[in-house]
Amino acid sequence: MNYDVHMISSPVCDAWIAGVNDPDVEYCYGGTRMVPSWASNNDAEEDLVRLMFEESHLKNRMINRALEADLLEDLAHELPKGYLRSRVGGGRCIMRPRNEELDRILRNPAHPDFGPLIAEVFREIGELLNRKGGRIKLTPDFGRFAGLADELATFTPHVLGVRCNAGGCGGKASYTVTGIVSALEVLGLVEDTASRITLVGSAGALGVGVLEYFQQHWFKDIAICDLSYDDGSTDLPDGALLKLASQHGRFTNECLQRGGTLIFTTWGEELENSDIDAIPPGSQMILAHNLSIPPGDTGRVLMRQIANRGIFALPGQVLTLGGALTSRLEWFWRQNYPNADFTGKKKLAHLIADRVVAFLVEQIEEVARVRNLTPFEAMWAYAEEG
């Protein structure tokens, strides 16, 4: 599929913004990610295209199929006009600070220079989104900075995830966690509170929410792992939890060897650099993060190797689409009810995330069973038929 890429440059950073060129979609949507200042143009554009197609577009294609089904018909009277059976494509933004000092500042919202610098960047991005007439919409959600949607919204209406009293859904993390939990419930992985649970990335926005679920339901055997525990930037959470060692860019054998239900809410690209032979047969891997599996043949081969060892592995795109799903609800809500507070619709948004992820996991399981595919292969087959 063709796509359009637009580049902007400012004294603060360069940014690449892209959307698929598909006349059948109403707009293109995706998040943002910041790459290091030393990343090359080629590296930045490769990340842009991969995240746009492998994450944003794939998630939106699955959402498109789910919204064409009848699973939300009983909620139609509560939904804004245009949401049901809407079609959205993938988009993405990659930002690269101009130098190491700017990189350091833009990763620290507490820095006194952060506000003026990010405003300068967002002014340029907002002007581009406006020139494109809303064809591309973004959520500036790199790292843990979900509140930046409100900053970008001062320059363009084509931003999603703004605060609820301005008509937005707020940060996407809670809706994504709802989807992850829904998948765990459909798969029957949370029925026994004595089951072994390992959470990798447990200090991140998603990891905190998933850990809270297990603690609130009194699971007895929880292990946690996060880079920020080891570098001292995050305190260990309360509770009788086993802390495991972390390692940048890969999952440690200490985590993988526990088996049971392994839930990953990390940065991405760790699995392909990990020792899959350390995972006990019969384990369940919930890869609830972007870039969870390599693209193309590399990913298919890796997932087949894992499946052949008797390990179930569910890829991140179907697990983490709750945020994109709710951002779509926000857009149609804002079009139908300008400036109306979204707070009263949050419960509805969580219900939709729960139903849609459950539906899609069931569909993917069925395709995998009937066609003898891995969940990764089945997910792609399902999306491509929509």
- Reply yes or no on whether the pLDDT at 143 is more than 50: no
pLDDT at 9: 92
- In a domain, residue 332? The reply is no
- Of 173, 168, 21, the C-alpha closest to 91 is 21
pLDDT digits (tens, 9 = 90+) for 1-40: 799 999 999 999 999 999 999 999 999 999 999 999 999 9
Contacts with 173 (C-beta within 8 Å, 6 or more apart), sequence order: 146, 205, 206, 209, 323
- In a domain, residue 15? The reply is yes
pLDDT > 70 fraction of the chain, expressed in percent and rounded:
98
- In a domain, residue 342? The reply is no
Higher pLDDT, 170 or 369: 369
pLDDT at 144: 56
- Domain match, 152 and 11 both: yes
Q: Contact, 222 vs 241, CB < 8 A? A: yes
- Domain match, 198 and 83 both: no
- Domain match, 192 and 154 both: no
- Domain match, 70 and 190 both: no
Number of domains in the chain: 2
pLDDT at 188: 98
pLDDT digits (tens, 9 = 90+) for 87-98: 999 999 999 999
- Of 172, 174, 112, the C-alpha closest to 148 is 172
Contacts with 62 (C-beta within 8 Å, 6 or more apart), sequence order: 317, 318, 321, 360, 379, 382, 383, 386
Quickly state the pLDDT bin for 109 (edges 50, 70, 90): confident
- Reply yes or no on whether the pLDDT at 148 is more than 50: yes
pLDDT digits (tens, 9 = 90+) for 267-302: 999 999 999 999 999 999 999 999 999 999 999 999
* Pairwise CA distance, residues 201 & 143, whole Å: 13
- Domain match, 148 and 187 both: no
Mean pLDDT of 142-156: 80
- In a domain, residue 355? The reply is no
- In a domain, residue 336? The reply is no
pLDDT at 145: 64
pLDDT digits (tens, 9 = 90+) for 70-83: 899 999 999 999 99
- Domain match, 182 and 211 both: yes
The DSSP output letter for 159 is: B
- In a domain, residue 362? The reply is no
At 242, which CATH number? Answer: 3.40.50.720
- Reply yes or no on whether the pLDDT at 170 is more than 60: yes
pLDDT > 90 fraction of the chain, expressed in percent and rounded:
94
- Reply yes or no on whether the pLDDT at 336 is more than 80: yes
Contacts with 70 (C-beta within 8 Å, 6 or more apart), sequence order: none
pLDDT digits (tens, 9 = 90+) for 45-59: 999 999 999 999 999
- In a domain, residue 325? The reply is no
- In a domain, residue 357? The reply is no
Mean pLDDT of 94-123: 94
Quickly state the pLDDT bin for 146 (edges 50, 70, 90): low
Q: What are phi and psi of 42, to 5 degrees?
A: -65, -40
At 128, which CATH number? Answer: 3.40.50.10860
Give the residue from 102, 128, 159 where a domain finishes: 159
Contacts with 212 (C-beta within 8 Å, 6 or more apart), sequence order: none
In 10 A of CB 116, how many CB atoms? 10
Provide the residue range defining the domain that includes 291. Answer: 175-320+369-384
- Domain match, 245 and 140 both: no
pLDDT digits (tens, 9 = 90+) for 178-194: 999 999 999 999 999 99
- Domain match, 71 and 183 both: no
- Of 25, 34, 82, 36, the C-alpha closest to 59 is 25
- Domain match, 231 and 374 both: yes
Q: Contact, 349 vs 175, CB < 8 A? A: yes
* 283-299 burial code (b ≥16 CB/10 A, e <16): bbbbbbbbbbbbeeeeb
Mean pLDDT of 365-386: 96
- Domain match, 30 and 129 both: yes
The DSSP output letter for 164 is: G
Strands (DSSP E) along 10-61, which ranges? 13-20, 28-34
- Domain match, 187 and 154 both: no
Give the residue from 102, 135, 159 where a domain finishes: 159
- Domain match, 69 and 214 both: no
Give the residue from 128, 159, 190 where a domain finishes: 159
Q: pTM above 0.85? A: yes
Mean pLDDT of 317-325: 97
Measured CA distances, 65 to 28, 120, 302, 356, 370 (Å): 16, 38, 27, 10, 19
